[in-house]
Amino acid sequence: MAKSKTVTYSHFPYLPISISTVKGNFELEALLDTGYDGGVVLPPTLITNGEVSGWLVNCKLADNSIIEVPAYLGSVILGNKKLNNITVLIMGDEPIIGRSIIKYFKIILDHGRKIVLA
């Protein structure tokens, strides 16, 4: 079995990520959020240009409130891996990567200085 390559990022706690949806391709840095169960969150100003997706999902927030937000299916490239069929939610004001993405990686948070993906 081949050993995975490690990739190191120094803009802690952000990771560079490539996201592809029907709304476009995005190269950006996203906050690594271990408290978020989902895939990716993108701010509406980045993806929709005022257009709302036909697919709406209910999301439970940290305060247990539930809101309905637009969603897209997309693919993500993070480190050396491409992941398909990832849910991309449109909400908030900052790109976020959640646990349904990072579960495919060994992640080392090195003293608040860097993130290592393997």
Q: CB–CB of 41/96 below 8 Å?
A: yes
Residue 74, pLDDT score = 93
Report the C-alpha gap between 33 and 31 in whole angstroms: 6
Averaged pLDDT for residues 59-79: 92
CATH 3.40.309.10 matches 7-117? no
Confidence band of 1 (pLDDT split at 50, 70, 90):
very low
Tell me how far the alpha carbon of residue 65 is from its chain's centroid.
21
Query: What average pLDDT does the segment 92-118 reach?
Result: 91
CA-CA distance, 19 to 2, in Å (whole number)?
26
pLDDT band at 80; cut points 50, 70, 90:
confident
**pLDDT score recorded for residue 33:** 93
| Mean of pLDDT over the chain | 88
Contacts made by residues 59-63, CB under 8 angstroms, sequence distance 24+: 59/89, 59/91, 62/35
pLDDT reported for residue 49: 65
